């Protein structure tokens, strides 16, 4: 990647960081996926979005929440939950 390309990417990322409403291209860059993948997520209604005419917009905070929506518990959390379940449900 050339220096000019890197600078352009950095500039776009800085712009995304300061915005609250994003376009499809900006969401793709933020998520590190292709624009077509974002469009598929929109089409399948798997990602929160808004429409104004034929344009699609995304609220940055909702995208960040969506990214973190399927948290995987740690082994420690699973073990604590299992221990609690065994203690409370003894026969």
Q: Which residues contact 34 (CB under 8 A, 6 or more apart)?
A: 28
Contacts of 22 (CB under 8 A, 6+ apart): 16, 30, 57, 58, 59, 60, 63
C-alpha closest to that of 18 among 52, 51, 60, 55: 60
How much of the chain is in helix, strand and coil states, percent to nearest 5? 60, 10, 30
Write the pLDDT tens digit of every residue in 3-54.
998 898 888 888 888 899 999 999 999 999 999 999 999 999 999 999 999 9
The neighbouring-strand residues paired with 57 are: 50
**Mean pLDDT along residues 59-65:** 96
Quick one: pLDDT at residue 68? Answer: 95
Domain span including residue 71: 3-88
In this prediction, residue 13 carries a pLDDT of: 86
Judge whether 46 and 33 are in contact, CB under 8 Å: no
Q: Can you read off the two tokens belonging to residue 24?
A: 């499809």
Structure tokens at 10: 């950095």
Tally of structural domains, the chain: 1
Q: What is the predicted pLDDT for the residue at 89?
A: 87
What is residue 91's predicted lDDT score, i.e. its pLDDT?
66
pLDDT of the residue at 12: 86
């Amino acid at each position: 990647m050339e220096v000019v390309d890197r600078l352009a990417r950095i500039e776009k990322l800085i712009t995304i960081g300061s915005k609250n409403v994003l376009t499809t291209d900006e969401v793709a860059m933020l998520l590190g996926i292709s624009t077509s993948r974002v469009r598929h997520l929109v089409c399948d209604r798997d990602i929160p979005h808004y429409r104004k005419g034929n344009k699609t917009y995304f609220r940055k905070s909702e995208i960040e929440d969506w990214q973190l929506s399927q948290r995987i518990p740690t082994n420690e959390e699973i073990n604590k939950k299992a221990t609690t379940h065994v203690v409370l449900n003894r026969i």
